[in-house]
Amino acid sequence: MRAVAQRVSSAEVEVDGAIVGRTDRGLLVYLGAARGDGEADVVYLAQKLAGLRIFEDSEGKMSRSVLDIGGSALVVPQFTLFGDVRSGRRPSFEEAAPPEAARALYEAFVGQLGALGVPVATGRFRAHMLVRSTVDGPVTLLLDSRKLF
């Protein structure tokens, strides 16, 4: 699994003119699943994100997690994180998990992150979404459960 995590002061996702998910101070997480991903990938990324120390303390150092600040997360499904553009100009999505497997992994991730104590709002799987965010910092990190980067 891959995630792009951004520290935000606010974020929301809209589908068909309606806001379906929103967070204030916390994390905006774009999440993609790959073929072969499983429960271990879900647990690894959820634990990593819940404990990721990217929020500033009183001295301005990034030493606090989303849990420490009482923040929340907006998790948006994003299969394009597995788009491969090394050859040609049109992305290949061969590495991305098939939709039903990806949906199950996405839902498991949302559940795991919530079980760790992070309030979670979501986007809508397989929908056209408009995402608005106010990125704080900016702080943007890439995570991969296979530790490829």
Residue 17 falls inside a structural domain:
yes
* Max CA distance (Å), the chain: 48
Residue 85 falls inside a structural domain:
yes
Omega cis (within 30) before 119: no
| pLDDT one-digit tens code per residue, 126-139 | 999 999 999 999 99
Calpha distance 46→52 (Å, rounded): 10
Residue 81 falls inside a structural domain:
yes
pLDDT of residue 90: 96
Q: What is the mean pLDDT of the chain?
A: 97
Residue 20 falls inside a structural domain:
yes
Determine how β-strand 72-77 pairs with β-strand 120-122: parallel
Range of the domain at 131: 2-144
Structure tokens at 105: 């992994």
| pLDDT one-digit tens code per residue, 61-82 | 999 999 999 999 999 999 999 9
Structure tokens at 25: 């101070």
CB atoms inside a 10 Å sphere around CB 127 = 12
Structure tokens at 58: 């009183």
The count of domains in the chain is 1
Calpha distance 22→125 (Å, rounded): 15
Residue 121 falls inside a structural domain:
yes
Residue 52 falls inside a structural domain:
yes
Residue 149 falls inside a structural domain:
no
The answer, yes or no, to whether residue 83 has pLDDT greater than 90, is yes
Calpha distance 17→129 (Å, rounded): 9
pLDDT of residue 87: 94
The three-class DSSP label of residue 67 is coil
Amino acid residing at 64: R
- The CATH number of the domain holding residue 137 is 3.50.80.10
> If pLDDT is split at 50, 70 and 90, which confidence band does 149 have?
confident
